[in-house]
Chains A and B, each alone.
Chain A
């Protein structure tokens, strides 16, 4: 997992509450053998005017001009501003995979669904919950200023606005530690690499037949 220390990026506003994982990535795209490549189908039903299916050439599909991510000013956004209960619905890990693959690193919303929250951190996304009125203010700021961007500093738990105003946010210590150091479950286990190597050497000596190849 990539380390997350500080991120500066453009913000896109998705003004809709209860965005569920089916909306983030519809079920027909779950058959893939990959964890990548879901970005073109992120928010598929909102983003395109036709029905999506796996293997389509997305560049030929009719775009919904009203959808926020299709507007030129938000195309390069890497911070998503969202509404309450973002990520509800099924447990599919494809949802954070799709958001990440599209290029998002940070999502700011008043609240997130539990499982999605977990899955997102496992995949290197930083989710920030801010009070509803602060989020409201951000929505107006973003809409009023083209090219609006934020500077997110995880180590100090601070968000700096273009005008210099600073917002602070909460995050649990363990998740922060994992993100700052780029640790996923595997990363955490690998912190015990020495203990594993040590065990393996003793195990190999005691039971060498477990380490043999076919003859």
Chain B
């Protein structure tokens, strides 16, 4: 028999029942809840007189709507100025309290973006099925967990039945082999993958990321890669278990301890694709060829090397592409063949479930240390992914590095990733952002988002336009030597 893929193993370990119509019931080990997609699900339960199937499978935290300035946060929920946002956050609190679900509230140090909080708490473990009413749930796949984003009616379904109705996906492997160049990061890997396969390239597949360049990444880097599987069209992104996974999880609050830990680790070691496992599709990238990436358009696949240029719609392969390039350039206010490094910026956002973990902040701080944000940058902000990330960063003095350079140091939340709170772009403003979506209006009406790594975002803040962080670092070394 051919070997099994990691996805096949996780699927069969959770299969409760297959139905005649090709759908299956799969058991869900963990559901993460936030304020935006859960209220109608809880209300549905209440109206039907149902109880959650298993309370301890759920963990909640508000993230999308919470304000990120210290002043507002000091007031707790009452600091939320927008009444609709306030009601959503309060509703989450009330629902968790009345049903008995554990919640990290707005000013709990453990609060943060759900996809940062779950792994940080060890609430995401290898071999789990994880769901959340949010498409970036793929993040948790970095731990060899089968993680899906779901809709509100499915949130209710999982609350009530501990199961999800699902259809088995196909298997894709994306191999990234070799060593990354200095200054090139996990974000550049995943943007390069999306640039290669396109935003629909992974539709219908569970993507497993493999190869030596993926193995060399920290857990934070792996989460960045899996997080954006959805931007490549795949609802699920996965990475097999190795020592890095296991070391990250040791001693986390929700992780097993003692003998149970040993038993778990022994089993987790099997959570890799078998030798000879067959994938429906395999894509290979050479890590050494990946450069720092910058998105220039209004879809994550509209991305190129920092040394590159904005494409000319006239040279597009067909009319559909030509049309979408033209529309994107118009929206973005860019001209054909414009050099990426000539794109002037107005704002810089370092944060989101893609890049707000401690490694990301260290990477950005390394670039920002001893520098000043350029005068043309109206706002440069760093928004840690959770209260614990913030605390750790402050213990390492990263907050000082950022503040001295002229960045704002904020409280944890989704913030300008989707601009549901007060943090947003104005019309026409260009933003170097470490988030995951550059759709029209995503970061504010008329706002122009460029997706980059934290190091690239920090370098851009200092230069006032995009720069190749590799040259930036080199200059920096010379200056230090000269001084």
Contact = CB atoms under 8 A, between A and B. Distances in A.
Interface residues of B, number: 46
Contacts of A1: 48
B56 A186 contact: no
Interface string A199-215: 11001000111111111
Nearest to B256: A209
A207 B165 contact: no
Given A34-B40, A185-B157, A211-B56, A200 B27 contact: yes
Contacts of A189: 25, 157, 160-161, 163, 165
A177 to B, nearest CB: 15
Interface string A172-215: 00000000000011100110100110011001000111111111
Interface stretch (B69-77, B190-198, B224-232, B257-265): B257-265
Contacts of A215: 253, 257
A194 to B, nearest CB: 10
A207 B50 contact: no
B407 to A, nearest CB: 33
B43 A209 contact: no
A110 B298 CA distance: 44
Given A203-B27, A212-B254, A214-B254, A186 B260 contact: no
Contacts of B54: 200
Contact of B161 (A34, A35, A190): A190
Contacts of A185: 153, 157, 165
Given A33-B39, A35-B47, A186-B50, A199 B27 contact: yes
Contact of A210 (B39, B127, B157): B127
A36 B254 contact: no
Contact of A35 (B27, B40, B122, B253): B40
Most chain-A CB neighbours within 10 Å: which of B25, B161, B255?
B161
B40 A33 contact: yes
A209 B48 contact: no
B87 A208 contact: no
A33 B13 CA distance: 35
B84 A31 contact: yes
Contacts of A212: 254, 256, 260
B84 to A, nearest CB: 6
B156 A192 contact: no
B372 to A, nearest CB: 42
Interface string B158-185: 0011110100000000000000000000
Top 8 nearest A-B pairs (CB, nearest first) are: A33-B39, A209-B256, A214-B253, A209-B264, A199-B16, A189-B161, A186-B160, A214-B254
23 contacts: A33-B40, A33-B43, A36-B47, A185-B153, A186-B48, A186-B157, A189-B157, A189-B163, A189-B165, A190-B160, A192-B17, A195-B16, A196-B25, A199-B27, A207-B264, A209-B255, A210-B29, A210-B127, A212-B254, A212-B260, A214-B121, A214-B123, A215-B257
Given A192-B17, A196-B16, 12 more contacts: A33-B43, A33-B87, A34-B39, A35-B44, A186-B48, A186-B156, A203-B27, A209-B256, A211-B56, A212-B256, A214-B254, A215-B253
Interface of B: 13-14, 16-17, 25, 27, 29, 39-40, 43-44, 47-48, 50, 53-54, 56, 84, 87-88, 91, 102, 121-123, 125, 127-128, 153, 156-157, 160-163, 165, 253-257, 260-261, 263-264, 267
Interface of A: 1, 31, 33-36, 184-186, 189-190, 192, 195-196, 199-200, 203, 207-215
